[in-house]
Amino acid sequence: MTEKQALTYTEDDIQVLEGLIAVRKRPGMYIGSTGTRGLHHLVWEIVDNAKDESLAGYNDTIIVTLYKDGSVSVEDHGRGIPTGMHKTGRPVPEVIFTTLHAGGKFGGGGYKKSGGLHGVGSSVVVALSKWLEVEIHREGNIYKQRYEYVVDENGLEHVGKPVTGLDIVGTTKRTGTTVSFKPDEAVFTTTKFDYELICERMRETAFLLKGIRMVLVDRRGSEIKRDEFHYPEGIRTYVEYLNEGKAALHPTVYFEGEKDNVYAELAFQYNDGYTETLVSYVNSIPTVDGGTHVTGFRNATTRVFNDFARKKGLLKEKDANLTGNDLREGFLGVLSLQMSDVQFESQTKDKLGNEEARATVEQIVGEKLGFFLEENPEIAKLLVEKAVKSAQIREELRKQREALRGDKKGKGAKKRKSISEKYTPPQNKDKSRNELFLVEGDSAGGSAKQARSAEFQAIFSLKGKPLNTEKAKLSEVLANEEFRTILEVLETDLGDEMNVENCAFDKIIIMSDADVDGSHIQTLLLTFFFRYMQELVKAGRLYIAQPPLYSVTKEGKKSDVIYCWDDYELEAALKKVGRGAKITRYKGLGEMNPEQLWETTMDPENRKLIQIALDENLPASEKLITTLMGDKVPPRREWIENHVTFEMGEDE
């Protein structure tokens, strides 16, 4: 009997763990937020169920369609949800879609490997939607059932109320499930789906489930938009896709292995860059915060490379071991696991907790990588020498930093002239309150120094445009005067060596002019933090200040000022002030006097800040930064041509 034949999926496989909870009242507990991320999480939950059919070996196609009315559908060609009666006396689809923790993924025979393990996905989608319809093609029939959010005549809310039975509406020759739903605008701050975001996620899924066909259709516009993804080589092709725009040092390496019912795949390729990109997954679910499988990978690579380097004499007896940071510079890889009984550390499934995953990945990667290095001595030597050089640079710069910092009490520290000239520290040492402003130029820096609250706000004035850290070598980044100063005043380090808790500031705020140069400075600084201080971004410490674009005053009433951050606010202010309105357009921070700068941009009570967060699709962000900030022009030109519209004026 084959595994497919043994792996049944019937009414008996649906287990109910507990009744429906009013997730509508606390959606953040289940989908993370009620903003864009939470909205799209609804789609991912239903797509995950379709992917589980693919993991089980029964589905080769997933089609997502966006409609004009704001609804979305997810279609698969799997076995179809069982349509019989559950032991609770209700149809199985009704149990799945209206009962929290109900599904075929809790130890029955329905699924051996699953992404939607918590069983809350379908019911959460119902709870947060105006309506949801499920259409099932199974055993020659087409079944349909609809659930709605209903408020009855007594004002009582009914979440996911079945408004039809599970009706047979036709016959069919195929199998599969289509789930359609419309998110409720009363729950979400936005209900507009982002085509590009969904497109990237579906491309990612096609890479991870080799051979599956992922189709996205957008019917919201006047013309139908469609993208299709299909990658028979799986994560090998994924690595090559992510490495486009970089100079690869060797062909893509691919390992796979299985132990204790954990199947692991690793594909990687080093490039001439100086940052690590490792994207990890479990049952095709992205584990943004890593977990035990990533720990196993890192343990194995550090041990195997050091053993090889000492065996071949590339590391001398007196030399210290290479660190993970040294060995992973320029590394770009994809680690993908398939396993049962997955333990995620949250409902949003960002971090894997299974200890057996660590042991399995460590063993598989250790064996396969050791063999690869022995069989490819030229590549192995190149990578080890790259790591040794990195270690030497890090050690030299570590000594320089220690000389600047002195001992634990600061004694013996050397003072550099640039810090006293460009950096103005806060008066207190309260890490939980202090703020560091990275300010464009001496003029704005001077105004900011006068405007700030000296008690808790520090100012660092930048000298022109920062170094482009996407193009620069690590040694150039660490030797750069401005970035070294930023590291010193933050009292932290780069990469894995950085401890967010040691950071001397609760907020790092980029404050630049509202023009093209200011935007470029923001981009360069964001690239630095993304590449080298990602943990600060994850911790929510990085912000962009939003100075106003205009001020509106009435003639003779200078004290009565209305500040405007965009043209819409300007239009509203002009209507309010009426005749005699005077408009001031701020072209730069230096044009505001210190009182205005404090009132509009630095005062915590009145200012507007944008908090920088990592996109949940980290690989897409990684590739975009490489495209826009890297050395290669053709990919950047192609991206601009596809994504930027240039509007010409009448005289142009």
d(CA 344, CA 576): 53
For residue 414, what are the contacts with CB-CB under 8 A and spacing of at least 6? 403, 404, 406
3-class SS letters over 284-315: CEECCCCEHHHHHHHHHHHHHHHHHHHHCCCC
Higher confidence at residue 101 or residue 129? 129
Q: What are phi and psi of 15, to 5 degrees?
A: -110, 140
Q: What is the pLDDT of residue 630?
A: 65
CA separation, residue 332 to residues 168, 515, 577, 584 (Å): 50, 34, 57, 49
CA 486 to chain centre: 25
Q: Choose the catalytic residue: 515, 560, 567, 638.
A: 515
517 among known catalytic residues: yes
Q: How many CA atoms lie within 13 A of 294 on its CB side?
A: 21
pTM above 0.85, yes or no: no
Q: What is the pLDDT of residue 634?
A: 62
375 among known catalytic residues: no
Q: What is the pLDDT of residue 14?
A: 47
Instruction: Reduce the DSSP state of residue 103 to 3 states and report it.
Output: strand
Residues, the chain: 652
d(CA 619, CA 242): 7
Query: Which amino acid appears at position 144 of this protein?
Result: K
Q: Is the pLDDT of residue 625 over 80?
A: no
Average pLDDT over residues 514-527: 84
CB distance 531 to 470 below 8 Å: yes
Read off the pLDDT of residues 395-445 as tens digits, 9 standing for 90 and up.
776 676 666 555 445 555 554 444 557 889 999 989 999 999 999 877 778
CA separation, residue 599 to residues 512, 542, 561, 566, 609 (Å): 16, 21, 11, 17, 13
Structure tokens at 220: 């919201």
515 among known catalytic residues: yes
119 confidence band (pLDDT: 50, 70, 90):
very low
Q: Choose the catalytic residue: 94, 440, 599, 622.
A: 440
Q: Choose the catalytic residue: 513, 599, 616, 622.
A: 513
Q: What is the pLDDT of residue 5?
A: 44
d(CA 119, CA 117): 6
| The pairing of beta strand 157-162 with beta strand 557-564 | unpaired
**Which residue in 498, 501, 502, 520 sits closest to 510, CA to CA?**
520
Read off the pLDDT of residues 148-173 as tens digits, 9 standing for 90 and up.
998 888 888 888 889 999 999 999 99
Q: Is the pLDDT of residue 105 over 50?
A: no
End-to-end Cα, the chain, rounded Å:
73
Strand partners, 334: 267, 279
Structure tokens at 301: 């690579």
| Domains identified in the chain and CATH numbers | 3-229 (3.30.565.10), 235-394 (3.30.230.10), 415-544 (3.40.50.670), 550-604 (3.30.1490)
Q: What is the pLDDT of residue 628?
A: 65
102 confidence band (pLDDT: 50, 70, 90):
low
Higher confidence at residue 95 or residue 335? 335
Q: What is the pLDDT of residue 238?
A: 95
481 confidence band (pLDDT: 50, 70, 90):
confident
Q: Choose the catalytic residue: 506, 517, 535, 615.
A: 517
513 among known catalytic residues: yes
CB distance 592 to 600 below 8 Å: yes
Higher confidence at residue 637 or residue 358? 358
Strand partners, 564: 550
CA separation, residue 244 to residues 240, 270, 522, 606, 636 (Å): 6, 12, 24, 43, 11
Higher confidence at residue 132 or residue 465? 132
Structure tokens at 575: 């209507």
Structure tokens at 10: 């019937």
Residues 168-207 as b or e (16 or more Cβ within 10 Å = b): eeeebeebbbbbbbbbbeebbeebebebebbbbbbbbbbb
Question: Burial of 559 by CB count in 10 Å (0-12 exposed, 13-18 middle, 19+ buried)?
Answer: exposed
Q: What is the pLDDT of residue 131?
A: 96
CA separation, residue 278 to residues 334, 387, 432 (Å): 6, 17, 31
For residue 451, what are the contacts with CB-CB under 8 A and spacing of at least 6? 594, 595, 597, 598, 602
d(CA 649, CA 96): 56
Question: Burial of 540 by CB count in 10 Å (0-12 exposed, 13-18 middle, 19+ buried)?
Answer: middle
Considering the chain, what percentage of its residues have pLDDT values greater than 90? 43
Q: Is the pLDDT of residue 352 over 80?
A: yes
Read off the pLDDT of residues 537-564 as tens digits, 9 standing for 90 and up.
888 999 999 999 999 988 766 668 899 9
Considering the chain, what percentage of its residues have pLDDT values greater than 70? 83
Q: What is the pLDDT of residue 651?
A: 39
26 confidence band (pLDDT: 50, 70, 90):
confident
Q: What is the pLDDT of residue 39?
A: 93
Read off the pLDDT of residues 568-622 as tens digits, 9 standing for 90 and up.
899 999 988 887 888 888 877 878 889 999 999 999 998 999 998 876 666 666 6
| The pairing of beta strand 507-511 with beta strand 542-545 | parallel
For residue 558, what are the contacts with CB-CB under 8 A and spacing of at least 6? none
640 confidence band (pLDDT: 50, 70, 90):
low
Read off the pLDDT of residues 355-399 as tens digits, 9 standing for 90 and up.
999 999 999 999 999 999 999 999 999 999 988 888 887 777 667
Q: What are phi and psi of 284, to 5 degrees?
A: 70, 10
* Helix locations, 312-376, DSSP H: 324-327, 355-375
Q: What is the pLDDT of residue 190?
A: 94
**Mean pLDDT for the chain?**
83
